[in-house]
Chain A
Amino acid sequence: KAGVTQTPRYLIKTRGQQVTLSCSPISGHRSVSWYQQTPGQGLQFLFEYFSETQRNKGNFPGRFSGRQFSNSRSEMNVSTLELGDSALYLCASRPIRTDTTEAFFGQGTRLTVV
């Protein structure tokens, strides 16, 4: 069974640009969540989607947005990039709706803003 797939693996963008990251969950998983990992702030929750609906959102500015498609694939978008947005962005999927099931993480997209 294929794991969580994130594309691209690496990205370099310029300040002020926007970027879209993609995540394909494990087949059959309907919950997709996104996290930002930085050396200073650690792992922080961005948002979670289930059946195309956002169920929870972290404390990030409106420049960070996401969506989920009917096939459960998800994208996140960051507009007007800032240097501080440089991070590893991790996507995770879960098979069912409860919180007791573990999430499966992708390898992440490394975003560098210059």
Chain B
Amino acid sequence: GDSVTQMEGPVTLSEEAFLTINCTYTATGYPSLFWYVQYPGEGLQLLLKATKADDKGSNKGFEATYRKETTSFHLEKGSVQVSDSAVYFCALSAPGTYKYIFGTGTRLKVLA
């Protein structure tokens, strides 16, 4: 079945460091891909999305490119801030299923 694999956390970085969170997926067909972020005590907020191969999603300095050849959707940010500390979830939605399949989440901690 469809699945999403994320790198294990937690990831601890100093402020202004470069961030990469790896995400790979397995799916039949052409899913849409998403990154969501969850702050403590909150629900999920959409960070960015890509709906077809080679699309690049971007928001708030975060970027991810839909790579069909490597079935990947890695999240990157050039310079993280303390306020980026949260749990990040990679997800896919396959056509016709009306649901998300989430990765296990990666906790990011940014130190001042």
Interface residue ranges of A9-30 to B (CB < 8 Å): none
Binds A, one of B7-15, B16-24, B43-51, B77-85: B43-51
Query: What's the nearest-Cβ distance from chain B to residue A50, in Å?
Result: 7
Tell me the bound Cα distance from A106 to B89 in angstroms. 16
Residues of B within 8 A of A33 (CB): 98-100
Q: Flag if B102 contacts A42 (CB, 8 Å).
A: yes
Residues of A within 8 A of B32 (CB): 99-100
* Contact (A106, B99) CB under 8 Å given A43-B89, A100-B32: no
Q: Of B97, B98, B102, which one neighbours A43 at CB under 8 angstroms?
A: B102
Number of B residues near A (Cβ < 8 Å) is: 26
Query: What's the nearest-Cβ distance from chain B to residue A107, in Å?
Result: 5
Q: Of B46, B51, B95, B97, which one neighbours A56 at CB under 8 angstroms?
A: B97
Interface residue ranges of B13-58 to A (CB < 8 Å): 31-32, 34, 36, 41-46, 49, 51
| Minimal Cβ-Cβ distance residue in A for B89 | A43
Residues of B within 8 A of A55 (CB): 98
Query: What's the nearest-Cβ distance from chain A to residue B100, in Å?
Result: 7
- Interface residue tally on A, bucketed by range: 20 to 34
Tell me the bound Cα distance from A95 to B100 in angstroms. 15
The SS class assigned to the A binding surface is strand
Residues of A within 8 A of B36 (CB): 105
Tell me the bound Cα distance from A45 to B3 in angstroms. 13
Q: Flag if A105 contacts B43 (CB, 8 Å).
A: yes
Residue positions of B touching A, CB distance < 8 A:
31-32, 34, 36, 41-46, 49, 51, 89, 93-105
Since A45-B99, A48-B99 are in contact, a sample of 18 more A-B pairs with Cβ atoms closer than 8 Å, ordered by chain A residue number, is A33-B98, A35-B100, A35-B102, A42-B105, A45-B100, A55-B98, A56-B97, A56-B98, A90-B44, A92-B100, A99-B31, A99-B93, A99-B97, A99-B98, A102-B49, A103-B46, A107-B41, A108-B43
